[in-house]
Structure 1
Amino acid sequence: MNGTLFIWQLIKIIVGFVIAVTASGLFLSWGLFQPGSPGADPAAFAAMIGAAFVTASVLGAVAFVPAACVILVSEIARWSGIVFHVASAGAIAFLLWTLDGTADAGLRPGSPVVLAAGFVSGAVYWIIAGRTAGNWLLRTKTAPHEEKATDEDL
C-alpha cells in the first residue's frame, strides 16, 4: 500500500462525494425551478442555487452509507470503470427513492428524474475520484511462469 497515494485518494473520495451530491442537487433544483439565465430572473436563480445546496445536504446524508459501501467495494476491487460508478449511483438513487414506505403499485412519479440525478452524480464522482479507484494498492507481481504465452509457446 502506498501511503501517499492512499491519502490523496481519500481526499479525492471526499471531494468527489461532496461535488457529486451537489451536482445531483443542482440537477434536481434546476428541473424544479427552471429559472433560465440569471439575468432573466435573479431571484429564481438564487432560489434554485439555495435549494440545490439544501437538496445536496439531504442527499448526502441519505446516500452516505450506501455510497460509502459502493466506494469501498470499488476501491478494494479496483473497479474504476465509468459504467460501474454511474450504474451504482443510479441504483442507489432509485432504491432510496422507492424505499420510502409507500405501498403503491408501479413506479412513483419522478422516478426517471431521480434515476438521471443518480447518473449525474455517478459521472461526476467518477471524473473526480472513481477513475483512479484502487491505484493506491500495490500491484501483485506475476511469477515468471505466469507470463503471457508467446507465439513460440503455442
Structure 2
Amino acid sequence: MPDFSKDVLTVNGSKLIWQLIKVSIGFCAAVLTAGLFLAWGYFRAGDPTMDPVGFAAMIGSGFVTASIVGGFAGALVFCAIAAAELLSVRSVIYHVGGAGLIAFGLWSLGAPMDHGMRPGTGVVLAAGFVAGFVYWLVAGRSSGCWRQTSAA
C-alpha cells in the first residue's frame, strides 16, 4: 500500500494567476454566449443584410441578457468552478452538465406550471449547455493545473 503521508501539495503561483485569468475570461465568454443564444432564440434574426434593425436588437438584448444571466447565476457558477479547480475536474460532462443544471434550476424558480415544465425550458437548457461548453473550452480543460503534488 502506498504511503501518501509524505506527499506535499504545492501551488505554482504563475499557473494559478494564469488560471484565474482564464476563469474570468471563460465566465464572461460563457455568459455572453448564453445571453446571445437566448436573444437569438427570442428574436430569430436572420441575415443582417435582410433585417439590420432586428439583428442589432438581437445583439443589444443579448448583451443585456448576458449581464442578467451573469448576475443571477454568478454565485452558483463560481461555486461549481471552485469545486472543479480544487478537485481538478476537467471533464466536459461536468462543465456542460453543471451549467445546464444551474440554468434549469434558475429557470425553475419562476411561477410553477400546472402541467409539466415552463415554456422555454429546452431553450434555457440548451443555453446552459452551450455556456458550459464555452467555459470548458476556455478554462475548464485545465482546471486544477496550478496544483502540484511532490514527495517530501
Compute the TM-score of the two structures, normalised by the length of structure 2.
0.90
Residue 76 of structure 1, aligned match among 69, 86, 109 = 86
What is the one-letter code of the residue matched to 1:103?
P
Residue 17 of structure 1, aligned match among 27, 32, 46 = 27
Residue 34 of structure 1, aligned match among 44, 52, 55 = 44
Distance 2:128 2:149 in 1: 32
Aligned to 1:104: 113
What is the one-letter code of the residue matched to 1:9?
Q
Residue 143 of structure 2, aligned match among 109, 133, 136 = 133
Distance 1:140 1:58 in 2: 43
Aligned to 2:73: 63
Distance 1:57 1:75 in 2: 24
Q: If you compute each CA radius of gyration, which structure gives the higher value, 1 or 2?
A: 1
Distance 2:43 2:122 in 1: 17
Structure 2: gaps spanning 5 or more residues:
1-10
Checking the alignment, whether the CA contact within 8 Å between 2:95 and 2:132 is kept in structure 1 is yes
Checking the alignment, whether the CA contact within 8 Å between 2:12 and 2:146 is kept in structure 1 is yes
Checking the alignment, whether the CA contact within 8 Å between 2:112 and 2:118 is kept in structure 1 is no
1:86 aligns with 2:96: yes
Compute the TM-score of the two structures, normalised by the length of structure 1.
0.89
What is the one-letter code of the residue matched to 1:63?
A
Structure 1: gaps spanning 5 or more residues:
144-154
Q: How many pairs align?
A: 141
Identity of aligned residues (%): 50
Structure 1 position 139, deviation (Å)? 2.8
Q: Give the 3 Å change call, closer, same or farther, for CA 140–111 of structure 1 in structure 2.
A: farther
What is the one-letter code of the residue matched to 1:26?
L
